[in-house]
Structures are given as C-alpha cells and as structure tokens.
Amino acid sequence: MMPSSPKPSADLRARILEAARQEPAPDRARVTQTTRALVVLAIVSALTVFFAMGGFRLGGRPLGYVVTTGIGWGIVAAFATHLAFSRRKSMLGPTRQALVAAALLIAPILLAWAALWTVSWPEVTVFDSTWSNYLSCFTLTSVFGILPLIALTIARRGSDPVHPRSTGAALGAAMGAWAGTLIDLHCRCASIPHIAFSHVLPTIMLAVLGALVGPRILGL
C-alpha cells in the first residue's frame, strides 16, 4: 500500500493563500475595454469583407422582400446574441436547455422566415444560381460568421465553467444568423434550395464549431 502524501504544513498553506490573495485580479474596466475592442474588431472585419465583395445588392429581387427577410433574420440574430452573452439575475447565465434550443432552432427559423415571404413574392424563387455560386456563397457566409465567432469566443474566454459547449454552440449559431443576414443583403439568389444551402447551412456549421471549441476556450 502506497503511503499517503504528506499534507502541507500550516505555514505553507498560509503562504500559498497569502500569495493568492496578493495576486492582482483582472481589472474589470480593462476586461470590458478588451471585450469591446474585440466586438468592434469582429464587426469591422465582417463588414469589411461584406463591402469588399460589393455590399448590398438588390438584383432582381423586390425591395420589400429583401427588407422583410433581412429585418426578420436580424431580429433572430440579435436575440441569439443576447442569449449567448446574457447573465441576467444569475451569474451562470441562461440554462443549458435554453442555449441548446437556440443552437438547434435558429437555422430552421431563418429558413422558415425566408420561405414564408415567398408566398407574397413568389417570383423570387426563380432567382437561382449554379452550384459553383452555391459553394462560393456558402464560403462567403462562413467567412462572415467565423470572423466574429473567433473574436467573441476570445472575448468570453473562461467565462462559462458550467456549460461551455452549449454556450459555444449558441454563440456559433448567433454569428451564423448575422452572417446569413449579411449574405441575404448581398446575394441576388433567393430560391429556397440556395438559401438553405448557402445562407442557412453555415449557421449549423458554426454552431457545431462553437460546440467543439467551447470547452477549450469558454470553460477555461
């Protein structure tokens, strides 16, 4: 039988506790400034890519359709972002169930909202593209989402020891929703298959990515 490890002396424990007490805690103002800087960087990065690729383009789509779908997607993205960052009355933030629900439901809600308005503007379904355009649009949407996801995950590092995977998934889905909103303002194609693959599928991909990196970064 292996001998038990000797317990540290009272003097040693006292010195360790004193050293920990004297270790300066992160300055809250500095942390807030860093978080804001990363948020600004995320927004600027995504918008830089957006405008570099041509910014807003109406194409043959009715303005009412583009505005309606864009506003709806923006509201979903804002709600999801608030949920992923919220602390409310509890320091632990939203429940795991709420975060998982957001991560799973955002993509179907975005697609359903876009499909709903084809009833009022059925002509938009003819605005389709080739599969090379599908892939390039999917890539662009992913870039729009992954840049802010990286920045905001770093901004929230070590902030969720309870359910980092669920928070990461919700944050990824939220950034995917923002990315979908931007690409919807840029892309001239409005067929349901194109929107599902190129505008919505990256939201699912980013949610999965957020779930994978969440425990490594958010749960530190």
C-alpha–C-alpha distance, residues 200 and 177, integer Å: 8
Alpha carbon of 217 to those of 158, 164, 182, 206, 207: distances in Å? 6, 8, 27, 15, 15
So where are the chain's domains?
A: 33-217
The residue with greater pLDDT, 63 or 88, is 63
Name the pLDDT band for 208 (thresholds 50, 70, 90).
very high
C-alpha–C-alpha distance, residues 60 and 66, integer Å: 10
pLDDT averaged over the chain? 82
Lowest mean pLDDT segment, chosen from 107-111, 121-125, 161-165, 181-185: 161-165
Residue-wise pLDDT for 10-60, tens only, equals 665 565 555 445 544 455 566 567 767 777 887 787 788 888 888 888 888
Residue-wise pLDDT for 79-114, tens only, equals 998 887 765 545 556 788 989 999 999 999 999 999
Alpha carbon of 32 to those of 36, 82, 126, 149, 167: distances in Å? 6, 16, 47, 18, 19
